[in-house]
Amino acid sequence: METFFGHMKDELNYKDCSSIKELRLAVNEYMTHYNSERYQWTLKKMTPDEFRSHLIAA
């Protein structure tokens, strides 16, 4: 959890959001990117979604 928020603060350009609605949309888009597209060294170079599927299939 702490790693996720650390990456989010570094990678999400939240200061450009002019409303709470824009911020919510940006956070939701980042979460989708993080879970589905961003490969993680600690998860055997898989995305969190791929790693979860890998664990379920094992």
Residue ranges covered by each domain of the chain: 19-58
Virtual CA dihedral for 9, 4, 47, 34, nearest 10 degrees?
Answer: -40
Percentages helix, strand, coil for the chain (3-state, rounded to 5) are 75, 5, 20
* pLDDT tens-place values along the chain, 58 residues long: 888 899 999 999 999 999 999 999 999 999 999 999 999 988 989 999 999 999 898 6
Q: pTM of this prediction?
A: 0.77
What pLDDT, on the 0 to 100 scale, is given for residue 10? 94
The partner residues of 40 in beta bridges, in order of sequence, read: 46
